[in-house]
């Protein structure tokens, strides 16, 4: 039976060896927990009774790291199904059970995908020397294409892992820096102009440089409202456009996917 609550579809992914895993960032986001508290729970699970020993359950967790939106290196844990199951025992909340079921369903789905991929296939055996040469050339081309795709996807994958679960929104000027760090020559003014020209920010009127309805529906931006008290006692509301974590991934991937090297000056 499917869980009543939908969780995002990428909380379980696979390693290079094909092992389905999740990580502490995704667990913290789905269960609504602080990431530092999730890290603390995992370290308590892995802590041995005697110094220098290694617990049996520690093999289910792998300590890694990620780069947050500010460029700071942060710790995280990657875990397999057994590690998640052990961690989930201590996760509580109004909808915790549905979230646990959702994770397990995604582990099941990923394991089915891995099994299908690993099913052996028997290639046709070349009958002549010419056929053997053609088969070798074809396999070499496939390997080369796969390597090119891995290299092309690497920046997008690393960036997405860094911010896809981040709740921190950034100013458009900070987004310009992030895009620049990912190989696209741009600046704050050029990025503002590009966002207006491509329908992400309003071009005219009192909503100038504020998100369009389309951009808000996509979840790319949020508007931070700040109350400002003037000397005459009047209060005005200042609106600041900020880019969500989803928006940061969206725009960086958009430029990288198009192999864009710079924005028009």
What's the pLDDT at 5?
41
What's the pLDDT at 167?
57
What's the pLDDT at 75?
92
Report the 3 state secondary structure along the chain: CCCCCCCCCCCCEECCCCCEEEEHHHHHHHHCCCHHHHHHHHHHHHCCCCCCCCCHHHHHEEEEEEECCCCCEEEEEEECHHHHHHHHCCCCCCCHHHHHHHHHHHHHHHHHHHHHHHCCCCCCCCCCHHHHHHHHHHHHHHHHHHHHHHHHHHHHHHHHHHHCCCCCCEEHHHHHHHHHHCCCECCHHHHHHHHHHCCCECCCHHHCCCECHHHHHCCCEEEEEEEEECCCCCEEEEEEEEECHHHHHHHHHHHHHCCCCECCC
What's the pLDDT at 40?
94
Could you read off the pLDDT tens digit of each residue along the chain, which spans 265 residues? 344 444 455 778 888 777 888 899 988 888 888 999 999 999 998 888 777 777 788 888 989 888 888 888 999 999 888 888 888 888 776 667 777 777 887 788 777 877 776 665 555 666 676 777 777 777 777 777 776 665 555 545 545 554 554 557 888 888 888 887 777 788 888 888 999 999 999 988 778 888 999 989 988 998 888 776 666 666 667 778 888 888 888 887 777 666 555 666 5
CA distance 125 to 119: 18
């Amino acid at each position: 039976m499917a869980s009543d609550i939908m969780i995002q579809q990428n909380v379980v992914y696979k390693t290079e060896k094909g092992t389905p895993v999740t990580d502490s960032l995704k667990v913290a986001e789905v269960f609504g927990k602080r990431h530092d508290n999730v890290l603390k729970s995992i370290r308590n699970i892995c802590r041995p009774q005697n110094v220098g020993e290694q617990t049996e359950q520690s093999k289910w967790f792998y300590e890694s790291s990620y780069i947050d939106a500010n460029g700071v290196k942060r710790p995280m844990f990657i875990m397999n199904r057994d590690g998640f199951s052990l961690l989930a025992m201590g996760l509580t909340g109004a909808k915790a059970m549905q979230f646990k079921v959702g994770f397990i369903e995604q582990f099941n789905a990923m394991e089915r995908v891995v099994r299908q991929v690993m099913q052996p296939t028997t290639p046709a055996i070349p009958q002549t020397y010419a056929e053997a040469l053609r088969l070798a050339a074809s396999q070499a081309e496939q390997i080369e294409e796969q390597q090119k795709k891995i290299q092309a996807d690497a920046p997008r994958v690393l960036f997405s892992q860094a911010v896809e679960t981040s709740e921190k929104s950034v100013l458009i000027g900070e987004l310009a820096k992030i895009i620049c760090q990912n190989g696209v020559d741009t600046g704050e003014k050029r990025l503002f102009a590009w966002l207006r020209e491509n329908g992400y920010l309003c071009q005219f009127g009192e909503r100038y440089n504020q998100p369009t309805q389309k951009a808000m529906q996509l979840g790319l931006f949020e508007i931070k409202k700040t109350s400002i008290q003037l000397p005459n006692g009047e209060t005005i509301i200042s609106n600041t456009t900020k880019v969500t974590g989803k928006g940061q991934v969206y725009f960086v991937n958009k430029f990288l996917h198009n192999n864009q090297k710079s924005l028009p000056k």
